[in-house]
Amino acid sequence: MAPGSPASLREANNQRIVEAVKLYGALTQVELASVTGLSPATVSNIVKQLTADEVLATTATTRSGRRAQLVTLTRSSGLAAGVHIGRRMLSVLISDASSEVRAVKRKPLPPEHRFDTTLEETALLVADLAGEVGGSLDDVVAVGLALPTRYERGPLGAQGPLPGWHNLDIVAVMNRRLSRPVVLVSEVEAAATAEARFGGLRGAHRGLHVRVGETTDCCVVIDGQPQGPGALGHVQIDPSGPICHCGARGCLNTVVSAEALGALVRFSHGVMGLRAIVQAAVDGDPGCRQVISDAGARIGAAMADLCTVLDPDKVTVGGPLAATGETLLTPIREALRSRPLLPSPDDLFADTRFGADAETIGVTALAHDAGDQGQPMSVHPRREA
């Protein structure tokens, strides 16, 4: 086809439609017109043709009370696996080429779990879940791994994301165990990807996802692409505060972290882990609710500074502490509302959709990307110095 010919233009428009559905998952034709910039009539014609060619599939749905056609990719044997290895939980998800979740498995992990047994269990779960959906490891185009760490290319750093996981080339280990391409990102990048592709940050030119759990991290998303993890937890909030693990004084993580929150409730409640504090707050315990609310105020102050500099279109907040809902989010909104240069929190805040599945959904999408692009066996996304 000659460049600029009607046939080449039609092929380019077809590709734009297919890539949009791959990137964002199921979309209505109106939404496809919005994200591709094509006219509704052009989108309608292309969808009809690609549906006849069995590239796309349509189903009836409703949007804002009106009937609409939801456009997806046709089912494919191309599976991808997403794995989130947290400090106390292992989650594995399998989705197909249309981004539909086919199987999910979660398993608790013991304190200070060893990398060899955890990675072996991870490999077995990926193979088992692929079998549960009627496939095998040969049908898995790539595996995505999300870890609670900021890392550089190659082996994990001397400190490591988890106790005993230092100086470990986790991508090489998983390559050997699974013989599949492996994508490794931080858990905040994975969660931000889920929000950018399918959730509250979808369509934002400049989005910000903040993950609040054992520590506080953030990720900026530009036009749907995560730009690497940001250490929001190491923003200084108290120049005379305690020394942080990073060596600086008064970081946000010295007052908002699993360790710091546990210390605050130890006198009244005894020893409590983060999950126990969150559950008690959800159940209405006044002391734990107060601790979470105070954490929200501190996080909100740091976020307000960051938003003043970045000027994001949309902001989402996720992670374990976000399970407490408005106990955490109300003081964050109040902190943002106190800054006159920022938009109203009602306009700035977007709801998260995925809860504890955000990391696996996001990293599975990145695994699909790696499989589509024919990535080599070891895949580390670009890291900032």
Q: What whole-number distance in Å separates Cα of residue 209 and Cα of residue 315?
A: 6
For residue range 20-68, list pLDDT tens digits in order.
Answer: 887 777 788 888 898 889 998 999 999 898 888 777 888 888 777 778 8
- Please give the domain boundaries of the chain with CATH numbers for all domains: 6-73 (1.10.10.10), 79-190+358-379 (3.30.420.40), 203-352 (3.30.420.40)
Rg (CA), the chain: 22
By three-state DSSP, how is residue 377 classified?
Answer: coil
Residue-level pLDDT at 302: 96
Residue-level pLDDT at 233: 93
Residue bearing the bigger pLDDT, 195 or 71: 195
Helices (H), the chain: 6-24, 29-36, 40-52, 115-132, 170-178, 187-198, 258-269, 274-282, 286-310, 326-337, 345-348, 358-372
- Which token pair is 100? 């539909």
- Asked if the model's pLDDT at residue 380 lies above 80, the reply is no
- Asked if the model's pLDDT at residue 3 lies above 80, the reply is no
Looking at residues 341-353, what average pLDDT do you find? 90
- Asked if the model's pLDDT at residue 151 lies above 70, the reply is no
Residue-level pLDDT at 154: 43
Q: Which residue in this structure is represented by tokens 């796309």? A: 56
For residue range 284-305, list pLDDT tens digits in order.
Answer: 999 999 999 999 999 999 999 9
Residue-level pLDDT at 50: 86
Q: What whole-number distance in Å separates Cα of residue 337 and Cα of residue 346?
A: 9
Confidence of residue 170 (pLDDT cuts 50, 70, 90): confident
3-state DSSP of 226-285: EEEEECHHHCECCCCCCECCCCCECEHHHCCCHHHHHHHHHHHHCCCCHHHHHHHHHCCC
Residue bearing the bigger pLDDT, 381 or 42: 42
- Asked if the model's pLDDT at residue 184 lies above 80, the reply is yes
Looking at residues 184-194, what average pLDDT do you find? 95
For residue range 83-119, list pLDDT tens digits in order.
Answer: 999 888 999 999 987 777 888 999 998 887 888 888 9
Looking at residues 175-199, what average pLDDT do you find? 93
Looking at residues 349-375, what average pLDDT do you find? 86
Residue-level pLDDT at 115: 82
Residue-level pLDDT at 156: 46
Looking at residues 272-278, what average pLDDT do you find? 95
Confidence of residue 330 (pLDDT cuts 50, 70, 90): very high
For residue range 119-148, list pLDDT tens digits in order.
Answer: 999 999 999 999 888 788 888 999 999 998
Residue-level pLDDT at 382: 39
Q: What predicted TM-score, i.e. pTM, was given to this entire model?
A: 0.78
- Which token pair is 302? 């740091």
By three-state DSSP, how is residue 339 classified?
Answer: coil
Tell me which amino acid residue 141 is.
V
Cβ atoms of residues 211 and 319 within 8 Å: yes
- Which token pair is 152? 């550089």
* 182 DSSP β-pair partners: 143, 378
Residue bearing the bigger pLDDT, 217 or 8: 217
